[in-house]
Amino acid sequence: MIKKRKPNNRQVYHLSHRASQSNRNNGPHSGDNPLEVLLLNKPFQVMSQFRPTTDGKRTLAEFITQADIYPAGRLDYDSEGLMVLCSDGRLQAIISSPRFKLEKTYWAQVEGIADQAAADALLRGVMLKDGPARALRAGPLPTPTLWSRDPPIRYRKSVADSWLSITIDEGRNRQVRRMTAAVGLPTLRLVRVSVGPWHVNGLAPGETRMEIVRPSALQRPQQSSPPV
């Protein structure tokens, strides 16, 4: 069950009391029971945390009021798109830990022309300051139909921009931005569109949706990434 309230004319969801009580900190004991996850389309310039910031930045508390739910992985302040939250410790680890290699797909608006050569370079792998990184899938993307960003990106008439789709199974700090920069395509806008089986489709910025999942459905055999 899920309940919802509408304070300040904004839909805000929270997990049912029974679900949060049964799942709280029960990672090792939850087995493969169906569990609730909350999907959020995080808007631009929102911190991936609930606690207030000292500089007044917006946080997840603006959209979610349930105390016993936590982000399963983070999304940069200046990135947008899908976040997954849950109240079960084991499920949180499966979603966020690099060792489970849950795939995440991003759409990156970049400065320059994102051609197949750039995509191939990302597939072969690039060297970052914290080690090699490679995309599982990458390719040029026709300009997608997305919500407007507030504020919009700064366009330069003298420089073309284009879009790339990039799928990775890691989550290092600002990894996708650093990868596109490594192939000469600085990221202007970054939207995470999917995490594992979940997609941001149907969610406007700030909106949430509850779904049910079994932990076993998210686990797949680990594969070592080839060296760069």
Which residues does the annotation mark as catalytic?
Answer: 76
149 to 73, 146, 215, 221: CA distances (angstroms): 22, 9, 34, 37
The DSSP-derived string for 129-171 is: TTEEE--SEEEEE-----PPPSSPPPP-TTS-EEEEEEEES--
CA distance linking residue 82 with residue 68, whole number of Å: 19
DSSP 27-88: GGG-TT--EEEEEEEEPTTB-S-SSPPTT--B-GGGTB--SS-EESS---TT-EEEEEEESB
CA 106, CA 191: separation in Å to the nearest integer? 6
What is the enclosing helix (H) or strand (E) of 100? Answer: none
SS3 label, residue 191: strand
58 forms bridges with which residues in the sheet? 46
